[in-house]
Structure 1
Amino acid sequence: MIIAAVEDQIIARLTAAFAGRLREVAHRPAGTDVATLVRSLLRAPGICIAFQGWQATERPDGTVAAGWKVYLIAANASGEAARRRGDDATIGAYEMLEVAARVLDRWRPASAAGAAVVTLAELVDAAMPAGLDPASFGTSGRSAYALTLAVPLLLTGPDAGPPPTLDPFVTFHADWDVPAHGNVTPPLPAAATDAADTITLPQ
């Protein structure tokens, strides 16, 4: 499963980048509302990621832009400023954002069809569903931000076969038929032409 493989690679890369400074890096079910997601990460500071689906792209053929949300949850009993900026003992949300963006943006997972792109960084509070109290993040001693990550994936199935390949473009040949038409006919190259060009490209 290519989605699970890329998800595991994202988790492994983040785990290595933070080198033990987080208490948890894990995945969560897609569609989990923000408040539940933040509460579920009991071992903050930590990161959880959730697959968001994909959008079709024009090139290369068969490729989609798969999306993940990377939630960065900071915790610090010293207050809101310490949760954002960190202190001598605990990493803050700002540093978590910078480290995660640096190691994920332009990185190519082994199972992907191209490089990942961090398309957005946002404060999670602003995205909370209506009716939920944003102050609950403050009273719980947590601050939450999210990165949106787009990863190109080549979707293949058991009947799709390998992706198409093209041989190197080495030689261009053209047979020209100048009016009145008719002496350049298939099969080509023609036996008699008005003009011909053959170009061999350097390799």
Structure 2
Amino acid sequence: MIISGLEQAIIDRIIAHAGTGAGKLGYALTVGGYGGEFDTDQELASAAVNFPCALVLLKEIGAGVDVGQGQKVRLTYTVFVAAQNRRNEAARRRGAAGKPGSYQIAWDIRQLLKMQMLGFDDQIDGLVPGPVQSVINGKSNNRSISVYACSFSTIWYEDLSPVSDEAMGEFLELDVAWDVPPLGNVQPPLPTAEADARDLIKPRESNP
């Protein structure tokens, strides 16, 4: 499914570049799906958030525009970036003592994702950075944090061919790419073009 697949691909790309070393952001970063952690003080109080972090959410599936046998649909994702620093508000935003601030994380995520297709080259255009909005800048539930919502959008080319009732919800295909240690050549985004071993299961074709 393009919706969840693209969300996971965004998460995977950020994870792949978090940490230190060649091609990395230069700092550790907790990455995952957004679960409402910053919606309210109560949500933040009950959430086990490790800072700094980047949490991803599908924000909107836009209205479609007809193009031949399909339509162009705008998909918008939000990456919530957050930093914690007890020094002061400026340190939370700008960083201090070797810790990244929310500005640095937002900038890095923007550079990391812009115009990426993340393995969906035949289905979407590149991700386009959009508005960055302040969510929290100060103390929330006794946590000194700075949170920004970074928007990214793309155009999805949706096939409008009807799906039969029999095929709806049917398990059609399982693609398993095996990474055999110590080769370690299977990297996100998945499915990978090359794998140490691969199982491709198509129940409908195997059992006509």
Question: TM-score band, normalised by the shorter chain?
Answer: 0.5 to 0.7
Q: Does 1:76 align with 2:85?
A: yes
Residue-by-residue CA offset, 1:84-119 (whole Å, 9 max, x unaligned): 111233111111011011111222222241111111
Question: CA–CA distance in 2 between the matches of 1:88 and 1:58?
Answer: 49
Paired positions, count: 153
Q: Distance in 1 between matches of 2:88 and 2:155?
A: 39
With over 3 angstroms needed to count, the CA separation of the structure-2 counterparts of 1:43 and 1:157, relative to structure 1, is farther
1:108-137 alpha-carbon deviations (Å, 9 max, x no partner): 222241111111111114xxxxxxxx7543
| 5+ residue gaps, structure 2 | 21-26, 165-208
Q: Is 1:25 aligned to residue 31 of structure 2?
A: yes
The 3-state SS of whatever aligns with 2:153 is strand
Larger displacement relative to structure 2 (84-93 or 1-10): 84-93
2:6 match: secondary structure: helix
Maintained 8 Å contact 2:89/2:138: no
Secondary structure of the corresponding residue to residue 149 of structure 1: strand
Change (3 A) 1:81 1:14: same
Q: 1:35 to 1:67 in 2, by over 3 A?
A: farther
Question: Between Structure 1 and Structure 2, whose CA radius of gyration is higher?
Answer: 1
Q: How much has 1:65 moved relative to structure 2?
A: 0.8
How high is the sequence identity, in percent, across the aligned residues?
20
Tell me how far apart the structure 1 counterparts of residues 160 and 37 of structure 2 sit (CA, whole Å). 26
1:180 counterpart residue number? none
CA–CA distance in structure 2, aligned partners of residues 149 and 34 of structure 1 = 23
**Cα offset for 1:59?**
6.0
Deviates more, 1:73-82 or 1:34-43: 34-43
CA offset at residue 31 of structure 1?
10
Give the AA of the match of 1:28.
Y
Are 2:51 and 1:48 equivalent residues in the alignment? no
CA distance in 1, matches of 2:72, 2:111: 24
RMSD: 2.9
Alignment of 1:22-171 (within 5 A): 22-29=28-35, 33=39, 35=41, 38=44, 40=47, 42-58=49-65, 60=67, 61-111=70-120, 112-125=123-136, 135-137=138-140, 139-156=142-159, 159=162
**Aligned-residue offset at 1:19:** 2.6
Partners of 2:60 and 2:75 within 8 A in 1 = yes
Alpha-carbon distance in 1 for matches of 2:17, 2:51 = 16
Instruction: Give the Cα separation in 2 of the matches to 1:65 and 1:31.
Output: 25
Q: Is the 8 A contact 1:22 1:44 kept in 2?
A: no
Q: Counterparts of 2:13 and 2:78 in 1: how far apart (Å)?
A: 15
1:7 match: 7
> 2:18·2:29 contact (CA, 8 Å) conserved in 1?
no
Distance 2:159 2:35 in 1: 24
TM (norm. structure 1) is 0.64
Q: What's the CA shift for 1:70?
A: 0.7
